[in-house]
Structure 1
């Protein structure tokens, strides 16, 4: 036991530093493995759950009208009961919520929301709602990795890094796209690039991809798409398609956000009921609209439907996804966006093929381009969109046409329509803060254990003479006095000479009260306590708040901030 405790203390000490240490790489790898295994379980549950509702082919086989109508309604009833059992009153799930928790709570997620995301996501995907599995994957990946960090008593700065590792591993395990996974973490969730975070995130993404390859095989769900080289003469059509995708992305975002805004005052039970009812009616009227977001890709790629069918499917999928996501069905947005992008591509090719503006064999390539452009227009992550399509297709030939789709789609959404990333817009509508001051961002990266002052003098209710003697002999050490208040609780104060007063036989002294912080805290928490006075210190403890181990002074925080911002 003593050896394990010693190893734990050494691990915690290394994790407190904002550096690419062996400790954070090892923890990132372990966190990635934990997240990937949870996602494997999640995927198995979805696949085998399909058999329970008579669906084993991604909603491609015929089903009775009764089944298509009843399944979504039963699903929302089960999801509502699940939320009631866990005491869940507000829908706080998926990527937007994880972004909020990363900024405000170091990526630590409540266990209730994690349970709801796991089981609710499985039910929603089995029931055929037009959602994706990457939203639950991001949530579950962050929760799995931070759970590991919490149980090894890791500092909060490293827990945030572990959350990023879990997210990368979860996305890689969901789609077998490790490169896109780690870029998505940096571009969408963290919104920053730091080497000491990037390296463990890379390891976690590799772990997630390797684990899913061993269990589900190396191929992706888009193996049926066979891209071909786009001829230079076709590239103007590619740019035109990107402009169109930018408009479609803006329309989809506006529709989904309008639904979200409209239903916010409505009770959770009513919202879920309407989501189930609208999905059931659409499945009854347009059976091809039934199924998760990615099922649309298989429909258009394998059956090559007529133009009228494609247009109807685009309308149905857009409405179904906006309603399900806006009303709080626990699923992801990226899968839905991929599906809408693929249908848009099929419609675009059907419109231009009679004009002989593109080769007949470019259909699969345009489906991939539609997915990339729609993703860039919706979440404003152009690099992640590009890498995702390259990895999903396994083809380097799509790089140039994908760039020519992504750039106009992004510019139309971001510049022409001034439309925000859909995740940021969701956060603002739900009043979930996601922006923090640069000072806070800089100081969150360092744990107090990396900079705390272990050598100090602690005096227990000293006399005036004892206190003056301690100050005389302290040299560079701080002097702390402990007294007991009227409630028999210890109070700590840091003592120093009052340099504004003249020294005499009885020199004036300054007494600054000290607050305690646990050793897993970051310098950001120290800054929050000391910044109003711009002086003083906090004391650091491990398990017992009445057992000070070290001090962190304002001067230490100031120097650390200068280093980070330099």
Structure 2
């Protein structure tokens, strides 16, 4: 709920900023030439001022940064970074840059959830799940697409399907959608579409269109990541000002390209009956998106991707018709373009399919969209080795996003879930006393002694049992302290060199002993998938 409300506030701030210079929110076609030229430049100056105040040099935000933080910090995101994401992205979108809301929605949802998890001192593996829930709530609140939000989180963010995290993510998406419907009503962005008219006779054309989208997605991803890598040698101010200049010039001469929320109904308007116009608009939108995101303008990529796909579809409809396409065919092909281009660019076919279904509120879109999505993904992946644009961004920015299989597996289980709490902590280390204490508990107690040092240590006395089941002596292991929020990954890292003994779990302070996790437990989990001894 907190994540959804924060994302809703973000949307309201964007509209409020747009009202400062235009009463026709998110529609620049009727704006004056000079306004379209200067608004992006003014927006960048404000973003740079905020970056200077917060001390952030690189403005790393959005989905790639969240993917990185999920791997290295269980989704915990710095506050200053979140502050820059909220205000930087709202100003960028309000200024007409070709960036979307979903990147900030993911970032803000993750940041809000991780903040709550930290305040509640939840285990880190739980914070990661909570972070995924916040992302789902944020996307659902931003677009009112709960099913697509769930699949997007599983397919793009977590990149895995696990039942134990599927349910909380679904609940979070429902909450986000409910909040959006309460504030804005139940309408979807593109539900004005009529029933899809495409049939089996159009499928050969859809396959060819999917091939074109596959090539276009590879070209888009390759140029975007190349620009990110090339521009990293320049200062932030130079990069953002160049992006503002390009956006302002294109917007001044081609106003529909700078619209922050380009409706497909605009594309199918009879006044845009020129194929040259649609091609020019497509190229302008691709260029503006690559320039904005490649040079560091804060914002998301999914929104522009959907617009680029829609323009491609309308242009393809014109080619099919041999002239200006009928509105019905143009709308149908626009939906196909949105689905295919999003799927191939993000390498997320299921998320793209469900996003288009929910945005259009048309179940009939599924079959033809699957044809386009399958063709686009297979062609771009097999012939061009195209991958998710987020993964490619992480690689050129040298941000960690992969983990060794052992670490990835161990991070799923918190130490609280498997620790042995049946411990007897004593200050008397006399061996005979320890043996009697062990025998009195029928071997059920874990014997721990605490030293009387200024910084006390906890020592695990592991019983040596003879063949006739008699305790003769103890092996002593100095336990390594580890927070109750840690996972088995941190415990394994502490023990992997000595490969014996264990760690003791504490709460708040290393003096507050609450249980132990042995290396034998971790080893048993890695070999057999169980932590019970």
In the alignment, is residue 399 of structure 1 matched against residue 366 of structure 2? yes
Using the size of structure 2 for normalisation, the TM-score is 0.93
Structure 2 Cα separation of the partners of residues 118 and 39 of structure 1: 9
Aligned to 1:19: none
Report if aligned partners of 1:60, 1:299 keep a CA contact under 8 Å in 2: no
Partner of 2:223, secondary structure, is: helix
Structure 2 Cα separation of the partners of residues 221 and 101 of structure 1: 31
Deviation at 1:508, TM superposition (A): 7.5
Aligned to 2:401: 434
Report if aligned partners of 2:435, 2:473 keep a CA contact under 8 Å in 1: no
Aligned to 2:170: 202
Deviation at 1:465, TM superposition (A): 5.2
State which drifts further: 324-333 or 299-308. 299-308
Aligned to 2:377: 410
Partner of 1:549, secondary structure, is: strand
Aligned to 1:387: 354
Structure 2 Cα separation of the partners of residues 518 and 109 of structure 1: 20
Deviation at 1:116, TM superposition (A): 0.8
Aligned to 1:489: 455
Deviation at 1:74, TM superposition (A): 1.2
Structure 2 Cα separation of the partners of residues 225 and 338 of structure 1: 16
State which drifts further: 309-318 or 47-56. 47-56
Structure 2 Cα separation of the partners of residues 563 and 164 of structure 1: 28
Give the superposed CA RMSD: 2.5
Which deviations, in whole Å up to 9, do the C-alpha atoms of 1:197-225 show, x marking residues without a partner?
Answer: 00111111111111101111111222343
The unaligned stretches of length 5 or more in structure 1 are: 1-32, 501-506
Aligned residue pairs: how many? 527
Aligned to 2:282: 314
Partner of 2:517, secondary structure, is: strand
In the alignment, is residue 50 of structure 1 matched against residue 18 of structure 2? yes
Paired residue for 1:557, among 498, 505, 522? 522
Q: How does 1:149-298 map to 2 (within 5 A)?
A: 149-292=117-260, 294-295=261-262, 297-298=264-265
The unaligned stretches of length 5 or more in structure 2 are: 467-471
Deviation at 1:228, TM superposition (A): 2.1
Deviation at 1:543, TM superposition (A): 1.8
In the alignment, is residue 448 of structure 1 matched against residue 421 of structure 2? no
Which deviations, in whole Å up to 9, do the C-alpha atoms of 1:334-381 show, x marking residues without a partner?
Answer: 00101111111111111221279x876211111111000000110000
Aligned to 2:336: 369
Report if aligned partners of 1:442, 1:565 keep a CA contact under 8 Å in 2: no
Partner of 1:295, secondary structure, is: coil
Which deviations, in whole Å up to 9, do the C-alpha atoms of 1:418-443 show, x marking residues without a partner?
Answer: 01110000111111111112222222
State which drifts further: 62-71 or 193-202. 62-71
Paired residue for 1:518, among 483, 492, 495? 483
Q: Are residues 210 and 536 of structure 1, via their aligned partners in 2, closer, same or farther at CA, if it must alter by over 3 Å?
A: same
Structure 2 Cα separation of the partners of residues 461 and 273 of structure 1: 70
Structure 2 Cα separation of the partners of residues 62 and 239 of structure 1: 38
Partner of 1:404, secondary structure, is: helix
Partner of 2:451, secondary structure, is: strand
Structure 1 Cα separation of the partners of residues 75 and 510 of structure 2: 25
Deviation at 1:462, TM superposition (A): 3.1
Deviation at 1:519, TM superposition (A): 1.5
Structure 2 Cα separation of the partners of residues 304 and 278 of structure 1: 23
